Chain A
Amino acid sequence: MARLSPDNVTLALEIIGRYPRPKSALIPLLHLAQEQDGHLTDDAMAHIAELVGVTPAEVLGTASFYEMFKMEPVGRYVVNICTNIACQLLGGEELLEHAEHRLGVRPGQTTPDGLFTVEDVECIAACTEAPCLQVNYRYFHRITHDEFDQLVDDLAAGRRDDIPPHGTLARVRQHIPPERRAGCVLPEDTATPVWIASASTEEAEA
């Protein structure tokens, strides 16, 4: 619960290096902080502000815009149940109600054991598989109430190691070999941006 750990600072510096301006690394670093603590702590946001050279208020302003950044602690598993139109027609509302009963919490709340947070969400773009839900943003399609119970049991018993704890994001940890990075030259310092150069060569060739 705090500032970024030394390992994460090392990673953060690497991430910052991928962008022309340090500030551009803000969102990935927020993911990193959320992965570390499960949610965004004030200390972590203040630390990120230092790392990318903005004020903590600016970090908070950006972070709080996004639902997926949690400002308060959430469960190890965040269960998002879709109640938008397609899912609603195929039982999404009932699924949500079932989940509330099964876990004993209202949407937005976390179970006392800290395992599950239930959220009702708008369309998650899997309408063909309605009713659907996500656990830590991993999809589960055409879920029946029994399947839901089974899923919850499995998660609680630690039988689903394919679903990492909330906040874990593989993307942030991806390794980009240096030769594939965009480089850290500010756009105004490059004579012609690469993409324009390549576009014009293509044109010339054509």
Chain B
Amino acid sequence: MPEPEAPAADGVVVEINGREVVARKGELLIDAAERAGTYIPRFCYHERMRPVGMCRMCLVEVDTGRGPALQPSCMIECSPGMKVDTESEVTKKAQDGVLEFLLINHPLDCPVCDKGGECPLQDQTMAYGPGESRFVEEKRHKEKPIPISDLVLLDRERCILCDRCTRFAKEVAGDPLIHFIHRGNDTEVNTFPDEPFASYFSGNTVQICPVGALTASTYRFKARPWDLETTESTCQQCSVGCRISIDSSRDQVQRYAGVDIDPVNWGWLCDKGRFSHESVTAEARLGEPLVRQGDELVPTRWADALGRAADALRGASSPEAIGVIGGARLTNEDAYAWAKLAKGVLGTDNVDAQLGDGLPAEVVLGLPRATIDQVCEPGGTVVLLGPDVKEELPVLFLRLRHAVVSDGVTLVEVSPRTTGLTGLAAASLQPRPGEAGELVRALVAGSDAERDVAGLPAEAVNAARRLLAGSRGPLTVVLGRPSVAESATAVVDAATALLAARPDTTFLPALRRANVHGALDMGLAPGLLPGRVGLDEGRDCFAGSWPSVPASRGLDTEGILRAAADGHIDVLVLLGADPLADFPDHDLAERALAGARAVIAVETLPNASTRRADVVLAAAGFAEKAGTTTNLEGRVSSLSQRVTPPGTARADWMLAAELAARLGADLGVLDAEEILAEIGRVAPSHLGLDLAVVAGSPDGVLVPLGQPEAGPSSSGDAPEGQRGAAADAAAVRSDAADDTTTEEAEAAAAAAAEGAATAEAQAGAADGAAAGGDDAVPDEPLSAPRPELVAFVAGAPGSAPPLDAYAFRLVATRKLYDQGTTVQASAHLAGLAPGTAARVHPADADRLGVSAGERVVLRSARMSITVPVELDPGVPRGAVALVTNQRDVRVGDLIAVDGPVTELRIETAS
């Protein structure tokens, strides 16, 4: 355990306004002062970016022994004995002068500026600036806002040239598409002509711009800060689970902003998350239940819709004739209620939250889990064995990018085609689809491969192999489904090989959908019960609170759809699932919907599958109900209600409870909080969890609680930025000591230190997040012995069929923007879906005699589609890459889920 005094030992004592402050070694003066309670005004400095000293607002008088002089506090590190005066006459005059200069060319159009009321330039001018300007000359004029992308507008007159947006674009996002142009008085931020700021992260610049120069097209003139009501919540557009704030006005969601939490998003959001608020208020939202009348779905009363749904469920010939798919849209509480309804009341185990495009639940839950911080631990090595993180889990991409660029993390990528991270990878290997297992076995082998592996030259494989063998830090794997056109077997096989070779490996599962990890934790998967236990292992835990537990393992989504297609499913329940769009095999989904006797859809927005349903239950969505969600790390964090749901839409858990009541059972819950309390009582991995625990830790709580957390093996010198609980506690203590040592602060420090100690003792490894709040971790040991949690089932080496000379293998990946319902319901995002073409390696195109832009027929055993060709050296030879769920091209038509890979022929369309 690290010495509690460690930070103080190499701390630096400085004097700020006559008070002694202990700064961390290398800490910037502006940060040290803020920690000690002295806020120094600033524009350009941002704690998540490198300082540049552009604006001079942070000038303070600093004396390092050579007499006091004005220094930008964002550019100097604290040094021993430094004396700082942030309130001296000289400092004040400097602040006053800087503001007067900044305002010289500022249009002062606050009354029509979106930033008005929350603008650092307004606020700091009020606090530190001159009352009047002496500038009587004509100001600079520029064309009022010019769009620099579909989402962001730029008003150059208002810009104070702080370099935050441009630094963000280059340093954080890696998309330097905006830049300072011209010089001196003519300097402005701009893009290259006709090349918009089309970054997935552009919205962050709006959030960090300290003036109203960058505004969001979705929020222009929509509201004023003083009309807004704000609640903190967690983004539900993917499983990263970024912390956000929801602003509403007149009961309408107006915008989201990123909230800075250390373990996850650092304040950033991706544009899909940030601008998806438009889908909450979308015209198309379902506000009332619908039932089928002939060819049409017509609105009806809840009693009627629920009655019909209950009748259908009651009329099912056996429990196994009911299938429930979906659940990633749900909160943990919703998911638990539906699991209880399906498994406990209806008695079916045909339940699956994944849509055949993820990984087996036992793999996700059974592998030793890594946190994002562990993956990004300085000096570590990360194997990316999954999808394109930039497209599917964008803020995880930002964290990984930072880890590689700034923290010396080594990235080894094994992906079916190049990804957004390829440029950062120390080695990037594109095995033939279906052969990732074989490749990874070669990568962890004790000796060099002698011939080609998975279509890759031996030298490339061996170079990566040596890289892995030589890695010293922790090894983590980001594990997901790289392409829906190949089965999960290959990556599971690869994960098995990695774990066997390096048993200390930890895994960050990269399933994409919002709360899919929470849904799996809550038992929405065949063979599982809430709390990561198998049916048999968990039976006893649920005996008291559930009417029954299914006797044997049921079917996953593929199995359910097959059974439905064969006429064995009487009721198919779609819990926020659109199998027609999302299940890899479109034909099977189609036949399943046709074959199921009744389809009940629980949805927020209409989609292809709800249009085929017999009963549609309108569900309350994001920002419309409270609850919790679980991200890919297993971090449980809160979701808040900010607005009322449209029409009479209800929370999903309520619908489960209503249906149960109509079936003569009682789920025994009256609100989401009670459900969470029940989860905390019965779900083995969640024992001890309740609302107080979640609410008490702003960073969220990692489950399983109090379980040994797979983590960095040495608890000693945790590197900067990765400080463990003990270090945090010590920091609290030193903060408290710096302060006017109140009893409260003392107590808090002591409690934090104690909490940390307990956590350390329990965990054997420090983890700041779990012990973040004083009472986040229950101190007393768990009362009942916990049943065995789900264990990882090793994959068997699968083999893809040998490739004949003419066949290609399909790679089907995703883009951030697609035809998915939330993107399409968000007016400003809908048009960003890029479409797709058949991407092939130039050498293959040569061999086939096709050229870019030419239309070809892709023929699989299932069907054929016609698409234009694009040449792409990032696609391995012998493969064709398509993007799923894009306009005009239905990739699912080609895929048959029964094979390990999807083989194709390319024929020229004539």
Contact = CB atoms under 8 A, between A and B. Distances in A.
Interface string A51-66: 0001111111100111
Interface string B139-183: 000000000000000000000000000000000000111111111
A58 B169 CA distance: 11
Contact of B181 (A42, A46, A64): A64
B195 interface: yes
A32 to B, nearest CB: 19
A87 interface: no
Interface residues of A, number: 14
B193 A42 contact: yes
Interface string A39-75: 0001001100000001111111100111000000000
Nearest to A54: B176
Contacts of A42: 192-194
Given A45-B192, A46-B192, A56-B192, A65 B179 contact: no
A56 B183 contact: no
Nearest to B191: A57
B323 to A, nearest CB: 49
Interface residues of B, number: 15
A60 B181 contact: yes
A57 B183 contact: no
Contact of B179 (A46, A57, A66): A57
Contacts of B180: 61
B182 A55 contact: no
A64 B176 contact: no
Interface in B172-221: 175-183, 190-195
A88 B193 CA distance: 39
B176 A57 contact: yes
Contacts of B179: 55, 57-58, 60-61
A54 B194 CA distance: 16
A125 to B, nearest CB: 20
A61 B181 contact: yes
A65 B183 contact: yes
Interface string B557-571: 000000000000000
B621 to A, nearest CB: 37
B192 A60 contact: yes
Contact of B178 (A54, A57, A59, A66): A57
A61 B177 CA distance: 10
A57 B182 contact: no
Interface string B79-117: 000000000000000000000000000000000000000
Contacts of B191: 57
Interface string A127-170: 00000000000000000000000000000000000000000000
B796 to A, nearest CB: 43
Contacts of A66: 183
Contacts of A54: 176
Contacts of A61: 179-181
Contacts of B194: 42
A42 to B, nearest CB: 5
Nearest to A46: B192
Contacts of B178: 57
B177 A55 contact: yes
Contacts of A56: 192, 195
Contacts of B182: 64-65
Contact of B176 (A45, A46, A55): A55
Nearest to B166: A61
Contacts of B175: 55
Contacts of A45: 192
Contacts of A64: 181-183
A56 B194 CA distance: 10
A174 to B, nearest CB: 28
A150 B195 CA distance: 46
Interface in B327-378: none
B176 A58 contact: yes
A45 B180 CA distance: 16
B398 to A, nearest CB: 18
A77 B193 CA distance: 27
Contacts of A46: 192, 195
Contacts of A58: 176, 179
Shortest 5 CB-CB distances between A and B: which pairs? A61-B179, A56-B192, A57-B179, A57-B192, A64-B182
14 contacts: A42-B193, A42-B194, A55-B177, A55-B192, A56-B192, A56-B195, A57-B176, A57-B177, A57-B191, A58-B179, A60-B179, A60-B181, A61-B179, A61-B181
Interface of B: 175-183, 190-195
Given A46-B195, A65-B183, 12 more contacts: A55-B175, A55-B176, A55-B179, A55-B195, A56-B192, A56-B195, A57-B178, A58-B176, A60-B190, A61-B180, A61-B181, A64-B181
